[in-house]
Amino acid sequence: MRAVPRVFAILYRTLDAKTCLPAANSVRWWLQRLGLYALREPLLKTGDWVFLIDHSVQIGTTKACVILGVRLSDLPYPHRALRFEDMQVIAVIPVEQSTGEIVAAQLEQATQRTGVPKQIVSDGGSDVKKGTALFAARHPETTVTYDAAHHGAIVLKRRFEADPQWSEYIGQLGQLKSRIRQTLDAFLASPSLRPKARYMNLESLLKWSRRILELLDRDASDTSSHASRRAASRYGWLRDYRRSIEKWSRWEATVRASVSYVRTHGLSSDSESELGEHLSKVLPELLDEALATELATFIRESSASAGLDERLVGSTEVLESLFGKWKTLERQESQSGITGLILSLGALLGSWPATRIQAALEATLVKHVVSWCQDNLPSSVQSQRRIALSE
């Protein structure tokens, strides 16, 4: 946000010296005002809304329940995946605790803007899973769907953790990485696995493993023989895991290709056959037939409620990506817990032509943002720290 005043300074450099340039804090207020307007903006109440729901947790006890919406008639399938501009923010609800009953009440609250949704998609967290089930019991017309990426991660986790060679392999890589980090062989260090959602992010590590095996297999007369010798001295033991690496790569590639299909095509009555066609394009050495059959069963069950010529949503990727963009926007403020900048979520979604921006800024003032924050947010961690440590 600090860059925006600098850009204005460049654009207005030759104009009247009395021109008033906005400060970075003004940019923050703009985002919050646009976001609050998006939360209060009237939406069409139809029966074809799809809800994507998840919680974002930061430091402290406050978490934010975020519900995004898109109409079935606006889905971009099968041409591309959902993007920010396709979505509308339906609800942003900071809470101190979350249970199934609370989530069900939050969904009921969201229906006041859109009507009862056709579908709810989530990552299957315990409170969200129970809450969506309670909501669907009251509204049988609503279909509850489990995010394909999280399902794929669970499938991979079950397989990898049942393979004793996987834990041995990761342990050896971790020990070696710490030893070579400050040496001339640092360029050979393996990628790090994420502490969270690691089974959704295995591609880089397995690709690196295959590349190291290729390097080990090079002839000594190759122009890269120096790298080959260095790799052999550090990673010669990797040859013992060749078959396992090939097996793990098939698992990961099969799940990734299946999730990619759901992300870009959604769920329809033809999804099972379309998935089979999609997986047929995967290299045979990177396809696990048994796992493909298991995933096809999941896709068939998930798409069972889709009508003819109808496509449902099967992925919450756009919501996960939104959380990532919001945290990037927050930067160091994320260490203060959930702050008023969470209102910026609405500003990051949908399209914002000049007429909508004008309407939002005219209808939503700074005092409205302040009032919303006072009503919905507890004191931030930074605020509590400042009060506690003040003289």
pLDDT value at residue 196: 67
pLDDT value at residue 225: 63
Q: DSSP secondary-structure letter at 221? A: T
Q: How far apart are CA 370 and CA 74, in angstroms?
A: 33
Q: Mind listing the pLDDT tens digit for each residue in 285-330?
A: 889 999 999 999 999 999 988 888 889 999 999 999 999 899 888 8
The token pair that represents 289 in the structure block? 């037939």
The structural domains of the chain, with segments of one domain joined by +, span: 3-146+316-389, 148-313
β partners of residue 122: 146
pLDDT value at residue 294: 92
pTM: predicted TM-score of the whole model, two decimal places: 0.87
Show the low-confidence residues of the chain (pLDDT under 70): 14-17, 60, 195-197, 219-226, 334-336, 379-382, 384, 391
Please confirm whether the linkage preceding 284 is cis (ω < 30° from 0): no
The string of DSSP letters for 320-376 reads: HHHHHHHHHHHGGGGGG-S-GGGGHHHHTSS---HHHHHHHHHH--HHHHHHHHHHH
Q: How far apart are CA 36 and CA 241, in angstroms?
A: 54
pLDDT value at residue 148: 92
Other CB atoms within 10 A of residue 309 CB: 8
Q: Do the Cβ atoms of 31 and 344 come closer than 8 Å?
A: yes
* Domain at 3-146+316-389, CATH class: alpha beta
Q: Which helix (H) or strand (E) holds 52?
A: strand 49-57
pLDDT value at residue 220: 47
Q: Which residue carries 């920010």 as its tokens?
A: 84
Other CB atoms within 10 A of residue 274 CB: 17
Q: Would you call 143 helix, strand, or coil by DSSP?
A: strand
